[in-house]
Amino acid sequence: MGTTTESFREKLENEYDWPALYTFKFIVPEQKLDELKVIFEGHEITEKASSKGKYISLTSRVMAQSSDFIINTYIRASKIDGIISL
C-alpha cells in the first residue's frame, strides 16, 4: 500500500478505539447512486440531492471493526466513476 494509505491508517488507529462508529461522506453523480448504496447496504444512509439534482451527497454511519475496514470501503467506493470522498 502507498504512503498515503499508511498515513491514513495511522491517523485512524490514533483517533479510534475499534470497534468504532465511523461516518463516511461522498458526493456521487445521481446515476451512480445505486452503486454506492450497495457498499453501505444494511447501514444507516442519509441522502441529499444537489440543487439541480445531478449529484447526490450520501452519508453513512457504520460500526467499523478496524481501520482496514474503513480503508477497504474507501477503495471500493473509489472505483465508482465521478465519486468524490469527503
Instruction: Please write the tens of the pLDDT for every residue from 21-80.
Output: 999 999 999 999 999 999 999 999 999 999 998 999 999 999 999 999 999 999 999 999
Residue 8's pLDDT is 94
Cβ-in-10-Å burial (0-12, 13-18, 19+) of 48 comes to exposed
Q: Which domains does the chain have, with CATH numbers?
A: 3-85 (3.30.70.260)
